[in-house]
């Protein structure tokens, strides 16, 4: 199997990675949402994988955590691609 053909069992949303980063730093989700200027409910949807992030949000998150926004955008893009791959093999 070629590396490019790899299909994950389950796609991991960017919110899982953000949550892990916040937990490691001891930052509460509600406080972080306020810090980056979004509603706690909106941020909760991201953490739960119900909502993705765009370039603007990746920039806010990246700036607040000191992590390049491209890192977060790549995770989001890979998640979206993996969702499509997993749907295609199940259909």
Question: 10 or 4: whose pLDDT is higher?
Answer: 10
- Within a domain: 5: no
Question: 89 or 55: whose pLDDT is higher?
Answer: 55
Burial category of 10 from C-beta neighbours within 10 Å (exposed 0-12, middle 13-18, buried 19 and up): exposed
Are 47 and 18 within 8 A, CB to CB? yes
Task: Determine the structural domain holding residue 17 and report its residue range.
Answer: 13-90
Structural domain count of the chain: 1
- Within a domain: 6: no
- Within a domain: 58: yes
In this prediction, residue 1 carries a pLDDT of 52
pLDDT digits (tens, 9 = 90+) for 40-87: 999 999 999 999 999 999 999 999 999 999 999 999 999 999 998 887
Are 57 and 38 within 8 A, CB to CB? yes
Q: What is the CATH number for 64? A: 1.10.260.40
Degrees to nearest 5, angle at CA 54 with 48 and 56: 120
- Within a domain: 71: yes
- Within a domain: 3: no
């Amino acid at each position: 199997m070629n590396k490019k053909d790899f299909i994950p069992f389950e796609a991991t949303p960017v919110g899982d990675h953000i949550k892990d980063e916040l937990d490691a730093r001891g930052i509460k989700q509600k406080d972080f949402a306020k810090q980056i200027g979004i509603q706690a409910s909106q941020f909760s949807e991201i953490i739960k994988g119900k909502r993705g992030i765009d370039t603007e949000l990746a920039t806010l998150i990246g700036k607040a955590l000191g992590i390049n926004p491209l890192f977060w955008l790549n995770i989001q893009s890979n998640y979206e691609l993996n969702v499509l791959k997993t749907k295609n093999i199940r259909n």
